[in-house]
Amino acid sequence: MNCSRVRKWIPLYAGADLSARKTRSLEKHLERCPDCGAELEELKTALVSVRAIADQEILDWPEAEWKGLMARVQAEKPDRRPVTLPGAIPKKAWAYGLAIILIAGIAFLIMRSILSPPAAPLLSKFVTATPVQPSRSLKTDEATSFGYPRNTPFKVQREKAATADRATLAAGSAPEKTTQNVMSMTLVSQQTGLKVHWTFNRNFEWEEKKR
Amino acid sequence: MDEKETRLVELVLGGQTNAFEPLVTPYRRLLLTLAYRLCRNVEEAKEISQETMLRAFRYLGSFDRKRSFKNWLLQIEMNVWRSLGARTADEGTLRELAAQNTTEDPGERLMGNEVREKLLACLDGLSPREREVFLLRDIEGRSIKETAGVLRTSEISVRVHLSRARAKIRELVKERFPGLMEGRR
């Protein structure tokens, strides 16, 4: 332990206000450091001197003034209600209150960002934009071509085995056995209105359209 | 708070206002002297002490009897001192009270004027908060916890200001009274 740290503790140590752990460390240091020991002695001497002077310095009320003051005080009415001024609330209570509000606010913001997925409005757009009825099946060709921009850079890689059958895209239970090979999705930006169309095959693969 | 004080508080709250004087008389010197050490002006110290008595009487009903009555009075006095120092609306009340109370008592004596001035010369070097903490802890002998309670602050804050105050006092005493430090190094 170096002297600069010990000297920060000496003022509290001189008045027996230092914690037990720091006191032990400081006393070990004092055993081998005469300079810090001398500083401690100086501080103790200064404090004892000031205390001694203070003990001699006592002011008192002149008796007539004191009686006059008591007469004025007693002419008042004591307020029996508890003090409810803001100043009566300890600073700690204000600090704790503000900290709780701050933490609750941050937690609310975090939970809101977690619990409200950004895809929710886009999904609803997708559902409303898809003309597929719950009980209706589409041919693969219809499904892949519906709403698909002609200049889109993507196209679906069709699987030959799948295209042989009538593929379906159903939002609900189909009345007959169907196989869903293709799924399209439209993402719409609420702010800019930009639409992005995606079409996936059963393996969720996509292929860039080659011109 | 001892039984006698509890009984006196009950008497005052019960309407016997003359019981207030024996309740606060043990602290009249303490409050006046502390106020003087804080503000370094006798008249201002009287103003602070008067206002402390008035507030103590006015709000005696809100005093928690589990607490120390002495610490409660000290807390009121610190609040008065701060509000006076901040030049708030209380100043008007205090000045008015002082105007009603300007009689000089020839019997008034301040013990050890010369010594007192030396003490004040050292206290002048402290900031207001350091002075408050130093006076309560080192001169009035309040504990760190009590000092924090009186000043409505944390014990950590008290320790920080107390440490600074003591270090400054050492420097000031060493500078102004070098004879005291002879033989210490």
CATH of the domain at B48: 1.10.1740.10
Domain count, chain B: 2
pTM over 0.90: no
Same domain? For B11 and B90 the reply is: yes
- Backbone φ and ψ for A183, nearest 5 degrees, come out as -140, 135
Run of H or E including B11: helix B3-13
- Backbone φ and ψ for A32, nearest 5 degrees, come out as -120, 10
Determine the structural domain holding residue B152 and report its residue range. 110-180
Nearest to B138 among A47, A68, A69 (CB): A47
Please report whether residue A142 resides in a domain: yes
Select from B91, B107, B123 the last residue of a domain.
B107
Please report whether residue A61 resides in a domain: no
Q: Which segments of chain A does DSSP mark as H helices, in order?
A: 3-14, 20-32, 34-56, 63-75, 91-115, 119-129, 140-145, 160-164
Please report whether residue A80 resides in a domain: no
User: A4, A44, A50, A74: best mutation site toward chain B, by most B Cβ within 10 Å?
Assistant: A50
Nearest to B32 among A53, A61, A83 (CB): A61
Of the candidates B161, B160, B85, B165, which has an alpha carbon nearest to the alpha carbon of residue B122? Answer: B165
- Residues near A182 by Cβ (< 8 Å), separated by ≥ 6? A140, A143, A144, A156, A167, A169, A199, A200, A201, A202
**CATH number of the domain that B165 lies in?**
1.10.10.10
Record: contact A63-B105, CB cut-off 8 A: yes
Q: Is the ipTM of this complex over 0.95?
A: no
Instruction: Name the stretches of chain A with pLDDT < 50.
Output: 82-86, 133-137, 148, 152-174, 211
Nearest to A81 among B61, B119, B153 (CB): B61
Same domain? For B137 and B171 the reply is: yes
Select from B107, B124, B149 the last residue of a domain.
B107
Determine the straight-line distance between the first and last CA of chain B, rounded to whole angstroms: 45
Please report whether residue A74 resides in a domain: no
Please report whether residue A108 resides in a domain: no
Please report whether residue B185 resides in a domain: no
Same domain? For A52 and A123 the reply is: no
Record: contact A12-B163, CB cut-off 8 A: yes
Instruction: Name the stretches of chain B with pLDDT < 70.
Output: 1, 85-116, 118-120, 180-185
Of chain B residues 70-99, which have a CB less than 8 A from chain A? 79, 97
* Tokens 């060709």 sit on residue: A141
Record: contact A79-B115, CB cut-off 8 A: no
Q: What is the pLDDT of residue B87?
A: 43
Same domain? For B87 and B163 the reply is: no
Same domain? For B13 and B92 the reply is: yes
Please report whether residue A10 resides in a domain: yes
Which residues, in sequence order, are bridge partners of residue A197?
A186
Same domain? For A50 and A123 the reply is: no
Q: What is the pLDDT of residue A181?
A: 76
Same domain? For B95 and B125 the reply is: no
Same domain? For B116 and B97 the reply is: no
Determine the structural domain holding residue A36 and report its residue range. 3-56
Of the candidates A182, A160, A158, A157, which has an alpha carbon nearest to the alpha carbon of residue A169? Answer: A182
* Angstrom distance (rounded) from CA B110 to CA B104: 13
Select from A56, A78, A98 the last residue of a domain.
A56
- Backbone φ and ψ for A84, nearest 5 degrees, come out as -120, 20
Please report whether residue A84 resides in a domain: no
What is chain A's Cα-based Rg? 42
Same domain? For B40 and B127 the reply is: no
* Angstrom distance (rounded) from CA A56 to CA A64: 24
Token output for A156: 């679906």
Domain count, chain A: 2
* Angstrom distance (rounded) from CA A45 to CA A197: 86
Counting Cα atoms < 13 Å in the Cβ hemisphere of A43 gives 24
Rounded to 10°, the helix B155-176/B113-123 angle is: 120
Record: contact A42-B170, CB cut-off 8 A: yes
- pLDDT one-digit tens code per residue, B120-153: 677 888 898 999 999 999 998 999 999 999 999 9
Are residues B50 and B102 in contact, defined by beta-carbon separation less than 8 angstroms? no
Same domain? For B132 and B98 the reply is: no
Same domain? For B151 and B74 the reply is: no
Token output for B123: 């206290």
B129 touches chain A (CB under 8 A): no
Same domain? For B133 and B89 the reply is: no
